[in-house]
Structure 1
């Protein structure tokens, strides 16, 4: 790609990183763009990323298929185990995001998503600046593909390296 050429990534294309239960397709990486990395993410049933916050990263989520429970606000009280019960100062709580829902998360804003259904969900995900989330996804899927329950110590170490302060646990069926 040169300064006078764009990038076109057709449906079904991009670099795929996957486990038997999860799939992330890298659509636009730091190699292609200075502003953001872009991914198509399949969120399996029962997956809960856990509430977390980034000091530097800004994120955008767009639900393409399925349903996700999401939040993007500072709660009145940060409980350590279950973000699903959090409430914002204005009384907002968790929202069931369906196709067409957009979630924008500025740096410093606690956020989370989970798939409470029995069907996979798919979302468009953009993170700025690149390439932190590219490396993070590669390493996270390696940990989750190891078999058995997630290695929470390895995930915690990974997240601390990539500007992710975990507030509640990641859960993976």
Structure 2
């Protein structure tokens, strides 16, 4: 007879991956779930993940604290600079998400988030299937920890490997 046990991750626990741009705490990984990786993400003032799209991944974001500008639609025109001004053919525009807001992003849907305020924001983030986002965060940290300016070619290769088509640049203060 085998025993099945769940996973309980107390507040403040989980493996932390921190860069100059953001802090990600791994809460549930592919080791414990076949369906999704789950993270708590601290989004500092001025951080903009840049619009991007995944062909395989589905994501869910839940704003816990602070405010974020969010995008989750196909724009009329994908301009390479400022996703905050994008609009869909049905008139959907970027929204200011506050605590309690949920954003679900299916595969193939351009999406982005940015913290335009002067206070940090915090969100719950789930990506399916695991472990692509886990590996992406881990390998990105390795590239950024190498010292000197970030190796943009290595970051671009990393994005390709983990199903991230970056449409507008990632920015942070």
| TM bucket, shorter chain | over 0.9
Q: Structure 2: any 5+ residue segments left out of the alignment? A: none
CA contact (8 A) 1:52 1:166 kept: yes
Query: Match of 1:98?
Result: 98
Q: Which residue of 2 aligns with 1:19?
A: 19
List structure 1 runs of 4+ shifted beyond 6 angstroms.
Answer: none
Normalising by structure 1, we get a TM-score of: 0.92
Once superposed, what is the RMSD of the aligned Cα atoms? 1.7
Q: Is the 8 A contact 2:37 2:126 kept in 1?
A: yes
In structure 1, the gaps of 5 or more residues are: none
How far off its partner does 1:39 sit?
A: 0.3
- Paired positions, count: 172
Residue in 2 aligned with 1:169?
169
Q: What's the CA shift string for 1:5-45, capped at 9, x where partnerless?
A: 11111101111111355211100000000000000001111
Change (3 A) 1:117 1:50: same
Match of 2:28 in 1: 28
Report the equivalent of 2:38: 38
Q: Counterpart of 1:47?
A: 47
